[in-house]
Amino acid sequence: MSEIVTAAILIIGDEILSGRTKDRNIGYIAEYLTRIGIDLKEVRVVADDEADIIAALDALRTRYTYVFTTGGIGPTHDDITADSVAKAFGVPIDCHPGVVARFRKRFSDAELNESRLRMTRIPAGATLIESETVLAPGFQIGNVIVMAGIPSVMQAMLDIVAPRLATGSRMLSETVRANCREGDIGTQLGAIARAHPDAMIGSYPFLDEGGRPNTNLVVRARDPDKIAAVRRDIEAMLAQLKLI
């Protein structure tokens, strides 16, 4: 079996914590990683505070295969992600000559001010995440992938970096509609979950087309045979309760 590859997301920004900006990146990254065979295990949101960013990075990068950060690599004084990452890795940071050259093609001397040059600063030893469609690059250093907070730019960066990443076998899933309320089958579902420790069983209540309480049971595993075995047990349980 392929090695399990894990990841965490670190969202950086006071604007997220204050509610001023609604995050649009977590769900996208989660679906993307699942699709390519990387298990997202944790999401954290921290303020634009150097100590908080470093502490979160140090905790996450030692626990998971990859850490994906979004936010804080723009041109303003509170964009401190690159500096914080450099300090977390104990490396210097400076303007990257290649990025500066790209900016000089885009901006006049007057336009290429201190604020814009902030976006060219990259920690030593980092690999750029760049393309013709991404002006100010993200970067990867060690197992930390640093991306923009703007969703469209982040998505472009994720497409660029994805082929470089180690991936595991994909997590598969199937959904069984229970046609009952969640509380009607909690005990029986728990017994099935204990009988299949290598699979994950999620119970998700919803209102059906007629506005009645209903439940979707989602089975997740890497082995399709395990999913089939759990599904058989769930369907047998529902049949015994005369729910299907």
Domain 6-164: what homologous superfamily?
MoaB/Mog-like domain (3.40.980.10)
Rounded mean pLDDT, 130-157:
92
pLDDT at 2: 60
Q: What rounded mean pLDDT belongs to the chain?
A: 93
Rounded mean pLDDT, 44-61:
98
What are 197-220's pLDDT values in tens digits? 999 999 999 998 988 999 999 999
Q: Enter the CATH code of domain 172-240.
A: 3.30.70
pLDDT at 1: 44
- Whether 44 contacts 52, CB under 8 Å: no
- For residues 62-88, b (16+ Cβ closer than 10 Å) or e, as one string? eebbbbbbbbbbbeeeebbbbbbbbbb
> Domain segments of the chain: what residues?
6-164, 172-240
DSSP label of 89: H
This prediction has a pTM of: 0.85
